[in-house]
């Protein structure tokens, strides 16, 4: 009998061929990257954040490279949940990978309505974005106010019956452990951590911000130590799985997140640097697991030796 795939994991009752997922906002609707890589090799794809209606996003310029990362204020531009379900999802379903749909709303009612539509769609999991720092209403209030976090997670969980709910946490809070525990107590099935850190970049010649929104979300290797620390803190606080996100560029970064407490990971900014990053990570992880005689990558989760 053939040996089991050592990279296979189970997340909220759903099997993934490997723990490598592309992060929302960095991989479009999935289809765009099919020109460059075989996306069927991925463990999963987290779709660009969907809202109830079409959103055009912020004014240009809205992205700039920073030391060891990038700053963006896209403004959650997307085609809306209905168009995604009719135009994008049928094409995406041709590929053999798990589909996680990231979604958001400006009000609790919007969150609930989008979640209901996705709950009956042919996808695998929902990822609720309560933490995006790029919009002036909705996300930043829900993700940084404990009472609002509890209200929105409870409302969404109450209205979905079929899909596991991941809640994506903001790092722009005093104590991420508090928010993770609130999400767990409110019914979240998993946590993804972290979203981008709030940052700013200024043109010293014009004395103007580099991006029109003034501030934006910092991502890339610069935030990895913060993300690893927060995953570790969340792991010690909750009993639900954690998907680690933040500055992952290679397999060594993945292993670090697992040791800190992650059960899966998402790759974001690295997709812009090299579209093949995720496939290289999967290949290198396989070698690492074999060389270290690890039966399954899940053995690494929370294995920090202190």
Report the chain's terminal Cα–Cα distance, integer Å.
38
In terms of Cα–Cα distance, which of 143, 273, 261, 253 is closest to 197?
143
- pTM of the entire structure? 0.96
What are the pLDDT digits (tens) for 67-117? Answer: 999 999 999 999 999 999 999 999 999 999 999 999 999 889 999 999 999
Q: What Å distances lie between residue 177 and 57, 114, 234, CA to CA?
A: 31, 27, 5
Superfamily for the 9-53+72-198+220-300 domain: Aldolase class I (3.20.20.70)
Alpha helices (runs of H) in the chain, residue ranges in sequence order: 81-83, 89-92, 108-119, 139-144, 146-159, 176-185, 224-235, 251-260, 270-273, 277-291
Instruction: Choose between 168 and 4: higher pLDDT.
Output: 168
pLDDT at 135: 47
What are the pLDDT digits (tens) for 266-289? Answer: 999 999 999 999 999 999 999 999
pLDDT at 131: 72
What are the pLDDT digits (tens) for 187-203? Answer: 999 999 999 999 999 99
Catalytic residue list: 132
pLDDT at 133 > cutoff 50: no
Residue 20, SS3 per DSSP: strand
- Which class for 110: exposed (0-12), middle (13-18), buried (19 or more C-beta within 10 A)? middle
φ and ψ of 210, to 5 deg: -70, -25
Q: How many CB atoms lie within 10 A of CB 17?
A: 18
């Amino acid at each position: 009998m053939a040996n089991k795939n050592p990279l296979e994991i189970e997340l909220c009752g759903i099997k993934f061929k490997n723990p490598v997922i592309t992060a929302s906002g960095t991989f479009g609707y999935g289809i765009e990257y099919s020109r460059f890589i075989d996306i069927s090799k991925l463990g999963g794809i987290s779709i660009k954040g969907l809202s109830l209606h079409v959103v055009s996003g912020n004014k240009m310029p809205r992205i700039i490279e920073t030391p060891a990362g990038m700053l963006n204020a896209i403004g959650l531009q997307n085609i809306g949940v209905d168009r995604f379900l009719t135009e994008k999802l049928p094409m995406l379903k041709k590929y053999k990978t798990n589909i996680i749909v990231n979604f958001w709303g400006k009000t609790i009612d919007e969150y609930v309505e989008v979640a209901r539509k996705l709950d009956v769609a042919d996808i695998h999991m929902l990822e609720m974005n309560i933490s995006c720092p790029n919009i002036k209403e909705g996300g930043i209030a829900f993700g940084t106010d404990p009472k609002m976090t509890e209200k929105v997670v409870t409302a969404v969980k109450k209205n979905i019956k079929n899909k596991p709910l991941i809640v994506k946490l903001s790092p722009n809070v005093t104590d991420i452990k508090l928010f993770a525990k609130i999400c767990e107590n409110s019914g979240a099935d998993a946590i993804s951590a972290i979203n981008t850190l709030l940052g700013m970049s200024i043109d010293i010649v014009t004395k103007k911000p580099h991006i029109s929104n003034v501030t934006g979300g910092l991502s890339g290797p610069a935030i990895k130590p913060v993300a690893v620390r927060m995953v570790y803190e969340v792991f010690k606080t909750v009993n639900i799985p954690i998907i680690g996100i933040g500055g992952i560029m290679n397999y060594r970064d993945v292993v670090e997140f697992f040791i800190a407490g992650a059960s899966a990971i998402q790759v974001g900014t690295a997709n812009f640097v090299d579209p093949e990053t995720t496939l290289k990570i999967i290949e290198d992880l396989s070698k690492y697991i074999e060389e270290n005689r690890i039966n399954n990558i899940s053995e690494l989760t929370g294995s920090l030796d202190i």
